[in-house]
Structure 1
Amino acid sequence: MPAASTTLRTLAVSVITLLTVTGCQAFNDAGRTMGRADIVNDLAARMDRALELTYSAEYQLRGGQSASFAQSQDPARSSYTWPGGKLTVTDDATTRCDVDGGRTVCTLEEPPAPNSKPSVVVFAEAELQGVVTPPMVMGLLTSAALDPGAVITERSSTVAGHHATCVDVRQDAESFTACVTGEGALGSFTGQLDGQPVELALSRYDDQVDGGAFDLPAGAGVVDRRTAGP
């Protein structure tokens, strides 16, 4: 597996190692004892496998806004669209689009290094824009699993018609609820980012992707900052 796709699994392995020593445990809603490491590892493994899938997802955000994510393989491409922006990563370019004063401007830069996972690059940029991503949720779960004062409750649910595992985390530092579908897509998140309330809920999941998901927005201005070939 390429190194870039092990991001979430690495977090889980670190938690497993530490919790094996401390013996911390949590209880799910049925009263069954669940190792915190088991919960984190299961969700990390799902989201890690999802990096290898082709799928598209639409999300409802707080305040009635929406976001969408698309990912395809062979060739590997990924795109995340959120209110006011879009990032697309292909083997030709890394394209950042911003809306300013009603006008969209897209800047084309060099593509990521060979063998990089486009989705990993997209998620990193989306987080800088305050968008909830699987790696961000995994980081919060990891932190909670290492907090002996945190109460972690696991339950089953259905999100947008898909089976999901949800985790309710209650702790002094940060309480939140996150759901991950059986396919490994982020199903929902309710919590805070930088002290601000954040909500995200999957409204549609499809195992196919419209090629237009990776196109530039219609009418967008283009700034090409890629270096010219020899």
Structure 2
Amino acid sequence: MPAASTTLRTIAASAIALLTVTGCQALDDAGRAMGRADIVNDLAARMDRALGLTYSAEYQLGGGRTALIVQAQDPARSAYQWPGGKLTVTAEATTHCDAEGERTTCTLDAPPAANSKPSVVVFAAAEREGQVTPPMVMGLLTTAALDPGAVITQSDTTVAGLLATCVDVRQDGEHFSACVTGEGALGSFTGRIDGEPVELALSRYQEQVDGAAFELPPGAGIVDRRPDS
């Protein structure tokens, strides 16, 4: 899975730089490449802006399960919660919680560097746990935009009451679709990750957050591995 070690704007810039080196392409090919670059750049710019927002986004997963992405500013902190797991990044710690049956264990590690964006750190760790993240979706879109054989269709819709831009991608026998809201939140994703079918859709979006989203689950066992613990 692609790591979220850089901002989405960097991903888009790289895609555009490659797409605009058209060389001896025919004009229609150049036009198609620029169209793809425009789509990728627009969605990446939205997601990049969203890294600096305060919001709570609840997602409906397959099988009736739910997931939650929460981030806040001043102080900057972020959390990603899914069935059986939770990741939280604050100024005090990077926390990974796992639930097995009725028991939850949370491991506290050192917080990220002061200049790191908590949401980027959370997304990178969530991807390693097999979760879908905005940077992951952006990476898939960039790969498709660079593939002249990929068929990319754009449309507009409403997701959880928010206006969103959607793309449908067919590439090398594979198919995925994704939507990004005007606010920059991931609106939906349907496709395969590492060969496994994945589906999520935004069900609720708020510009306020509950501070409890950054706290340890009640009754959780704690393993504190921070250097000063």
Q: Equivalent residue for 2:226?
A: 226
Identity among equivalent pairs (%): 75
SS in 2 for 1:179: strand
Please list the CA deviations of residues 135-179 of structure 1 after superposition, one character each: whole Å capped at 9, or x if unmatched: 000000000000010011111000000000000011115320000
Q: Equivalent residue for 2:16?
A: 16
TM-score in terms of structure 2 length: 0.92
Separation (CA, whole Å) in 2 of partners of 1:25 and 1:177: 22
SS in 2 for 1:175: strand
Shift of 1:102: 2.1
Equivalent AA in structure 2 for residue 12 of structure 1: A
Q: Equivalent residue for 1:96?
A: 96
How many residues are aligned here? Answer: 220
Equivalences for residues 125-164 of structure 1 within 5 A: 125-164=125-164
Q: Equivalent residue for 2:210?
A: 210
SS in 2 for 1:111: coil
Q: Equivalent residue for 2:64?
A: 64
Separation (CA, whole Å) in 2 of partners of 1:173 and 1:7: 29
CA distance 1:129–1:6, change in 2 (3 Å): closer
For the Cα contact (< 8 Å) 1:24–1:36, is it kept in 2?
Answer: no
Q: Equivalent residue for 1:30?
A: none
Q: Equivalent residue for 1:73?
A: 73
Shift of 1:7: 1.6
For the Cα contact (< 8 Å) 1:24–1:148, is it kept in 2?
Answer: no
Equivalent AA in structure 2 for residue 184 of structure 1: G
For the Cα contact (< 8 Å) 1:106–1:220, is it kept in 2?
Answer: yes
Separation (CA, whole Å) in 1 of partners of 2:108 and 2:13: 36
For the Cα contact (< 8 Å) 2:19–2:34, is it kept in 1?
Answer: no
SS in 1 for 2:200: strand
Equivalent AA in structure 1 for residue 226 of structure 2: R
For the Cα contact (< 8 Å) 1:155–1:167, is it kept in 2?
Answer: yes
Separation (CA, whole Å) in 2 of partners of 1:130 and 1:116: 22
Shift of 1:5: 9.0
Separation (CA, whole Å) in 1 of partners of 2:107 and 2:210: 22
Q: Equivalent residue for 1:185?
A: 185
For the Cα contact (< 8 Å) 1:12–1:44, is it kept in 2?
Answer: yes
CA RMSD of aligned residues (A): 1.6
Shift of 1:25: 4.6
For the Cα contact (< 8 Å) 2:20–2:34, is it kept in 1?
Answer: no
Separation (CA, whole Å) in 1 of partners of 2:76 and 2:125: 17
Shift of 1:34: 6.7
Equivalent AA in structure 2 for residue 180 of structure 1: V
For the Cα contact (< 8 Å) 2:127–2:133, is it kept in 1?
Answer: yes
Q: Equivalent residue for 1:29?
A: none
Q: Equivalent residue for 2:84?
A: 84
Separation (CA, whole Å) in 2 of partners of 1:114 and 1:200: 32
Shift of 1:114: 0.8
Q: Equivalent residue for 1:165?
A: 165
TM-score in terms of structure 1 length: 0.92
Please list the CA deviations of residues 181-221 of structure 1 after superposition, one character each: whole Å capped at 9, or x if unmatched: 00000000000011111001000000000111101111111
Equivalences for residues 98-113 of structure 1 within 5 A: 98-113=98-113
Shift of 1:101: 3.2
Separation (CA, whole Å) in 1 of partners of 2:134 and 2:30: 24
Equivalent AA in structure 2 for residue 189 of structure 1: F
